[in-house]
Structure 1
Amino acid sequence: MSHYFDAAHREEIETLRQRLTARTEWPTWLLLTGVYAGWFGLILASDRLGLWWSTVLLIPLVVLWLSVQHELLHGHPTRWLALNKVLGYAPFAVWFPYTLYRDSHLLHHHDEDLTIPGRDPESRYLTAEHWQRSSVFKQVLHRLNKTVLGRVMVGAPLALLALARKELRRLQAGERQAWLMWLTHGALTGLMLAFIARFSVLPVWHYLLLISVPALSIAMIRSYYEHRPNARPEQRTVLNEAAWPWSWLFLNNNLHLVHHDIPSLPWYDLPKAYRTRREQWQARSGGFLVRGYGQLWRQHGLRAIDSPQHPFH
């Protein structure tokens, strides 16, 4: 546990961990079961729901699935990484294999590297050299991606293009792990798409382009201003006091500094951990506080929140 916590705070966290919900992880088991049942139920009921109602309901479910995968890679609901991998490998969101997401995200939790291009795999910033050699078109895209509307419009395509470039290099280099991962993910995705084609009214292209991509775009709203450059690592991570439905879709990961400080704490305990020490968390963040995603939409829907160029790396 972080050296930041005093003895009383450590005791509060340990008390949360010793509760029945923490020991059994039943909320995560229930959520995991619900998402699987919901996905298969919506696919099988799509002929009665119709194409567009199925789409409207599947998009937030896939967003929720991405949040569930985040819990799994952090050791919930079991301590066995292999079992969590099996539970989380379903390719409902299509584009990112579970193990790729897991390994990349755990690297992101090296807080001393947060936001630094080339070291933080989830950084949305560019080095000065990269920025200066970018074409005007690419600079415009990156600036657009620094607005909320732009993040929703171009965030997912930019992320998928970057993923494709990086992973193609690994495959071309003959990396065995990359080939095994993508062959496994490709086979499971093919089976899923065949199931969709056979048992639903959803065309495969519709699921790929009008369900999985919009779900990824919505999920990227959470990461829009999740981190900022700062000399102090603990002041690089936001506390976003988002309300329902965002806090539910993101499984309280909007309280991101709490999650980074205590990554082993399950999603349902994050709000209580924050509320009991709210002023201290805010002081630790250096005032990096956002009062909900509505604030971001109002202030930065069309205006870039900062520069795509990292200020000191």
Structure 2
Amino acid sequence: MPAYLDAAHQRHINHLLGTWTARSDWPTWLLLLGTYAGWLGLVHASPHLGQDLTLLLLVPLITLWMSLQHELLHGHPTRWPWLNKGLGYAPIALWYPYTLYRDDHLRHHRDSELTRPALDPESRYLDRHAWDRSSPAERGLHWLNKTLYGRLLVGPALALGSLCGGQLARLRRGEAWGMWLCHGAWVAVLLAYVQAHGLAIGTYLLASVLALALSMVRSYHEHRPATSPEQRSVLNEAGWPWRWLFLNLNLHLVHHDLPGLPWYYLPRVYAARRDDWLRRSGQFRVGGYGELFRRHGWRPIDSPRHPWHSGARP
């Protein structure tokens, strides 16, 4: 338990973690079973629903699956990592092997390195050298990626391009072959399965790209450069559709401080000490994703160049 929490807050959290709900983690089990059932139902019903409607329904379901994978790698619904890996290994979202996502995301939880290029695997910033080497067109893309609509348009391409570049370099060094061969085989099985049941592979690929874009609404302003690590993670007081889709990760500072807390208790812990959390975050608060769309739909939220590498302080 983090040392900054007072005794009453620690007792509250320990009480929640000691409940039968947390010990059995039945909400995560239920959501996991429902997501698998929903995916199978959509694939089998696709000839009746049509390609367009199936695509429309698949996008939020695949986005939810990515949120669920995040819960699994953080130790839910079981305390056995190998079992959680088995439960979340299915490449429903296609692009990222579970093992790669798990390892990179757990490195991302080194809060002292948050947002720092080359140290934080999920950083959306460039260091001085990368910025200086980039062309005007590349800089334009990174500035566009700092707007929310731009993130939806170019974010998936930038993310997948970075994934390909980094992983091809690993493969050339003789690394990660087992992970990618296994992942590729399961992707081939999944695509053959959806095609055999009447869903076009192209439709599924498009759904996966659109789901990746939708997930980037959450990560758009999830972190910022700040001197204190606890002031780098946002508290986004989002509405219920977004909270469900992202499994309450909009309350991102609470998650980073308490990564073992299950998704369904994040709002309760935040609400119990909202003012304390806001003070801890340095008032890094957003009033919902609608606020971000209104203010930063086409206006960059900050610079794509990380400020610390230019000698400036945040």
- How much does 1:35 deviate? 0.4
Picking from 298, 304, 308, the partner of 2:300 is 304
In the alignment, the residues of structure 2 paired with residue 172 and residue 133 of structure 1 have an alpha-carbon distance, to the nearest angstrom, of 23
In the alignment, the residues of structure 2 paired with residue 111 and residue 59 of structure 1 have an alpha-carbon distance, to the nearest angstrom, of 31
Does 2:244 correspond to 1:248? yes
Partner of 1:156: 156
- How much does 1:244 deviate? 1.7
Partner of 2:41: 41
- How much does 1:15 deviate? 0.7
**Structure 1 runs not aligned, ≥5 long:** none
Picking from 174, 193, 203, the partner of 2:191 is 193
In the alignment, the residues of structure 2 paired with residue 55 and residue 64 of structure 1 have an alpha-carbon distance, to the nearest angstrom, of 14
| TM-score w.r.t. length of structure 1 | 0.98
- How much does 1:253 deviate? 0.4
- How much does 1:6 deviate? 1.1
- How much does 1:89 deviate? 0.4
- Which AA in structure 2 matches 1:207? Y
In the alignment, the residues of structure 1 paired with residue 4 and residue 38 of structure 2 have an alpha-carbon distance, to the nearest angstrom, of 40
In the alignment, the residues of structure 2 paired with residue 134 and residue 53 of structure 1 have an alpha-carbon distance, to the nearest angstrom, of 40
Partner of 1:184: 182
In the alignment, the residues of structure 1 paired with residue 157 and residue 243 of structure 2 have an alpha-carbon distance, to the nearest angstrom, of 24
- How much does 1:124 deviate? 0.4
What are the Cα deviations for residues 65-90 of structure 1, in whole angstroms up to 9, with x where unaligned? 00000000000000000000000001
Does 2:200 correspond to 1:206? no
Q: Identity percentage over the alignment?
A: 60
- Which AA in structure 2 matches 1:132? D
What are the Cα deviations for residues 131-152 of structure 1, in whole angstroms up to 9, with x where unaligned? 1221000000000000000000
Counterparts of 1:1-313 in structure 2, within 5 Å, are 1-175=1-175, 178-200=176-198, 202-208=199-205, 210-313=206-309
Q: Secondary structure at the match of 2:120?
A: coil
Q: How many corresponding residue pairs?
A: 309
Partner of 2:312: none
- Is this contact kept in 1: 2:29–2:77, CA < 8 A? yes
| TM-score w.r.t. length of structure 2 | 0.98
In the alignment, the residues of structure 1 paired with residue 130 and residue 174 of structure 2 have an alpha-carbon distance, to the nearest angstrom, of 27
In the alignment, the residues of structure 1 paired with residue 160 and residue 4 of structure 2 have an alpha-carbon distance, to the nearest angstrom, of 37
- How much does 1:128 deviate? 1.4
What are the Cα deviations for residues 243-262 of structure 1, in whole angstroms up to 9, with x where unaligned? 12111000000000000000
In the alignment, the residues of structure 2 paired with residue 19 and residue 164 of structure 1 have an alpha-carbon distance, to the nearest angstrom, of 43
In the alignment, the residues of structure 1 paired with residue 162 and residue 168 of structure 2 have an alpha-carbon distance, to the nearest angstrom, of 10
In the alignment, the residues of structure 1 paired with residue 2 and residue 56 of structure 2 have an alpha-carbon distance, to the nearest angstrom, of 41
- Which AA in structure 1 matches 2:160? L
- How much does 1:206 deviate? 1.9
- How much does 1:120 deviate? 0.4
Q: Secondary structure at the match of 1:222?
A: helix
In the alignment, the residues of structure 1 paired with residue 250 and residue 2 of structure 2 have an alpha-carbon distance, to the nearest angstrom, of 19
Divergent runs of 4+, >6 A:
none
**Structure 2 runs not aligned, ≥5 long:** 310-314
What are the Cα deviations for residues 140-170 of structure 1, in whole angstroms up to 9, with x where unaligned? 0000000000000000110000000000011
- Which AA in structure 2 matches 1:204? I
- How much does 1:130 deviate? 1.2
- Which AA in structure 2 matches 1:306? D
In the alignment, the residues of structure 1 paired with residue 164 and residue 3 of structure 2 have an alpha-carbon distance, to the nearest angstrom, of 39
- Which AA in structure 1 matches 2:127? T
What are the Cα deviations for residues 21-65 of structure 1, in whole angstroms up to 9, with x where unaligned? 101100000000000000011000111111111111111000000
- Is this contact kept in 1: 2:91–2:97, CA < 8 A? yes
- Which AA in structure 2 matches 1:14? N
In the alignment, the residues of structure 1 paired with residue 118 and residue 2 of structure 2 have an alpha-carbon distance, to the nearest angstrom, of 25
In the alignment, the residues of structure 2 paired with residue 14 and residue 24 of structure 1 have an alpha-carbon distance, to the nearest angstrom, of 15
Larger deviation, residues 128-137 vs 25-34: 128-137
- Which AA in structure 1 matches 2:197? F
In the alignment, the residues of structure 1 paired with residue 110 and residue 173 of structure 2 have an alpha-carbon distance, to the nearest angstrom, of 27
Q: Secondary structure at the match of 2:64?
A: helix
In the alignment, the residues of structure 1 paired with residue 131 and residue 306 of structure 2 have an alpha-carbon distance, to the nearest angstrom, of 9
- Is this contact kept in 1: 2:117–2:123, CA < 8 A? yes
In the alignment, the residues of structure 1 paired with residue 214 and residue 60 of structure 2 have an alpha-carbon distance, to the nearest angstrom, of 8
